[in-house]
Amino acid sequence: MRIADIDKPEVSEPECSSELVLGKRATDRMLELFSEGSLELRGWTGRDTDRYGRQLRVLIRDGRSLGDILVSEGLARTWSGLREPWC
């Protein structure tokens, strides 16, 4: 599964050290959000899977996307359909 509504900095293949640092912070925060309780998985409008066959889903709690929380905290960007550099 891939979180469909955000672009998060990479941790496995970052382009620079600042991307790695931000990516680790985003990962830690998402794990925190996961542990806070149950979630609803919603499909991504127009596409069910990405090019690697992963299901595209939006994670919702109390009517709000967890991706939107990361965006509001400066740890991710809203997915625009294009990957943009973090460095």
Residue 67 contacts residue 3 (beta carbons within 8 Å) = yes
Q: Which domain holds residue 61?
A: 2-78
Within a domain: 32: yes
pLDDT at 17 over 90: yes
CATH number at residue 43: 2.40.50.90
Strand ranges (DSSP E) for the chain?
A: 2-3, 6-7, 40-43, 56-61, 64-65, 77-78
| pLDDT at site 59 | 96
Within a domain: 10: yes
pLDDT tens by residue, 20-69: 999 999 999 999 999 999 999 999 888 899 889 999 999 999 999 999 99
| pLDDT at site 83 | 85
Put simply, whether the predicted model's pTM sits higher than 0.75 gets the answer: yes
| pLDDT at site 4 | 92
Within a domain: 47: yes
Domain count, the chain: 1
C-alpha to C-alpha distances, 19 to 14, 33, 45, 59, 70, nearest whole angstrom: 6, 21, 28, 23, 15
Within a domain: 70: yes
Quote helix, strand, coil % in the chain, to nearest 5: 30, 25, 45
Within a domain: 84: no
pLDDT at 82 over 90: no
Within a domain: 87: no
